[in-house]
Amino acid sequence: MIAVAGAGLLLALTACGNESSAGGTLTGKSWLSTTVTENGAPKQLAQNTRVRLQFTDDGRLIADAGCNSMQSKVSTGDGKLTLKDDLVMTDMGCPGRQDQDGWLSGILSSKPSWKLDGNTLNVTSGGTTIALQDREVAEPDLALDGTKWALNTVITGEVASHQVGSEKAWMTLNGERVTGSTGCNDFQGVVAQAPGKLTFGELATTRRACAGDAAKLESSLLNGLKGEVSYEIDSSKLELRNAAGGLDFTAVR
């Protein structure tokens, strides 16, 4: 993780409740952009990306624009979004998308105004307005079972990385069975499911020799699918976490 002093995140809520009561609450919700306008004209984001804002119960906002994740504590008093800490951002390379990180952090660091109207949240800075919809309305959570989950990110400690070849790695859960691919070998095994928790048994794999990046990716995936892990589904994203880090997956449509 890298800390970026003075850059901005936006909108996290504080425990003392400085959020406006008008229109409802932001706490505990995620929001996805539907439109972005600059000086009254539509702004086109990078292909297959949108702005995501998540307001946590402990007063943080976690945000991204399709590449790196940013987070900070902020206040929302007087209809403004004001950073309380330095912005913390992951450091992944995303060709064609990284410019959006700077664009979003710049907007969020400018103490933009915000207004909530039902399931719609508008965040405005100067001539730029980001309109967002409640994520549960825009993209309901997918089912854990029966969904093909493609590996997106490997988390080691506090470092997130997109490993070479990860787009070829995936898994599917069906009851007590898990099947998938490391990108080099196929695997299968047993898994016990409980609310917010998965417990993987030893996974059996095919015996194809893997070298270089393929071997590194296979090791990361199999280590992440070992023993007890916590899980959380957010729309089309699945996060697995254990003491050493975790794995992030995206549903294959």
Residue with tokens 């892990």: 229
Band (21; pLDDT cuts 50, 70, 90): very low
Q: What is the Cβ-side half-sphere exposure of residue 16, based on CA atoms within 13 angstroms?
A: 6
Residue 7 has pLDDT above 60, yes or no: no
Residue with tokens 């609450």: 25
pLDDT in tens, 90-116: 877 777 677 899 899 999 999 999 999
Residue 131 has pLDDT above 50, yes or no: yes
C-alpha separations of 103 from 31, 64, 169 in Å: 18, 11, 31
C-alpha separations of 115 from 22, 67, 245, 251 in Å: 8, 26, 36, 31
CA-based radius of gyration for the chain:
19
Q: Which of 83-97, 112-126, 169-183 has the lowest mean pLDDT?
A: 83-97
Residue 25: the pLDDT is: 73
CA angle 143, 161, 180 (to 5 degrees): 40
CA angle 240, 168, 166 (to 5 degrees): 55
Residue 159: the pLDDT is: 79
Identify the structural domains of the chain with CATH numbers, from first to last. 2-138 (2.40.128.270), 148-251 (2.40.128.270)
Closest CA to 137 of 120, 152, 155, 151: 120
Residue 20: the pLDDT is: 46
What is the rounded distance in angstroms from the CA atom of residue 47 to the CA atom of residue 105? 19
Buried b (16+ CB within 10 A) or exposed e, 75-104: bbeeeebbbeeebbbbebebeebbebbebb
What is the rounded distance in angstroms from the CA atom of residue 152 to the CA atom of residue 246? 11
> For residues 58 and 202, which has the higher predicted lDDT (pLDDT)?
202
